[in-house]
Chain A
Amino acid sequence: EAQVTQNPRYLITVTGKKLTVTCSQNMNHEYMSWYRQDPGLGLRQIYYSMNVEVTDKGDVPEGYKVSRKEKRNFPLILESPSPNQTSLYFCASSLSRQDTQYFGPGTRLTVL
């Protein structure tokens, strides 16, 4: 089944404790993105990647890192999480920049 998977689905952590949210797609998609969703703000893009080893900042990249060592994986790294990063995070992938994005199920992160 074609899908985007994210792990974990739920995470509660404390300020400053490094964490990684994994994202994997099995559709051989070139383009992958990370978004955060906050009430009243819709989805805002954090980082995106056009291909392996090619990443760039989205609208709200501060406090986040990403890597794209393999085509299928695009992990989101929070080196020192803070409470303002409490949010719902979505990973998405598409065949190319202009194609339909497929979204993962989301990761709900709480930073205490």
Chain B
Amino acid sequence: AQSVTQPDIHITVSEGASLELRCNYSYGATPYLFWYVQSPGQGLQLLLKYFSGDTLVQGIKGFEAEFKRSQSSFNLRKPSVHWSDAAEYFCAVGSISSGSARQLTFGSGTQLTVLP
């Protein structure tokens, strides 16, 4: 069964600092990977996704993520955090080749606090 681990429950960074949120997945087949962001009281918004090709993926709001198959990781990065980035971030994994129609498995989330 596929699974996703986000090891950091809560991260605090200062505005303007760089950010890296970790995501490790477990799945035997070819994965496809997503990062979603959830602002307080809001639904989930897609930041970026990886299906195939270039392992460095650019997303919205200046975020990027790098797929590393050897490490089973898909870490999210941003070079300079803005106060508006404070939110909860979810990594999700699905399979392109699985016969199951079940779509995505989500990690437990990382809460990001941005200090002024």
Interchain CA distance A56-B94 in the complex, whole Å = 17
Interchain CA distance A56-B100 in the complex, whole Å = 10
Q: Tell me the chain B residues, 78-113 only, with Cβ under 8 Å from chain A.
A: 90, 92, 94, 96, 101-109
Judged by DSSP, the binding face of A is strand
Q: Tell me the chain B residues, 48-103 only, with Cβ under 8 Å from chain A.
A: 49, 51, 90, 92, 94, 96, 101-103
Do A103 and B43 touch (CB < 8 A)?
A: yes
Interface size on B, residues (CB 8 A): 26
Complex interface: chain B residues within 8 A of A33 (CB): 103
Binds B, one of A11-19, A40-48, A70-78, A79-87: A40-48
Q: Tell me the chain A residues, 88-112 only, with Cβ under 8 Å from chain B.
A: 90, 92, 94, 97-98, 100-106
Do B49 and A100 touch (CB < 8 A)?
A: yes
Complex interface: chain A residues within 8 A of B43 (CB): 4, 90, 103-106
Do B90 and A48 touch (CB < 8 A)?
A: no
Partner of A98, one of B4, B45, B96, B108: B96
Do B96 and A56 touch (CB < 8 A)?
A: no
Does B44 sit within 8 A of A, measured CB to CB?
yes
Do A43 and B103 touch (CB < 8 A)?
A: no
Does A66 sit within 8 A of B, measured CB to CB?
no
Do B42 and A98 touch (CB < 8 A)?
A: no
Query: Smallest CB–CB gap between A40 and chain B, Å?
Result: 6
Do A97 and B90 touch (CB < 8 A)?
A: no
Does A21 sit within 8 A of B, measured CB to CB?
no
Do B102 and A42 touch (CB < 8 A)?
A: no
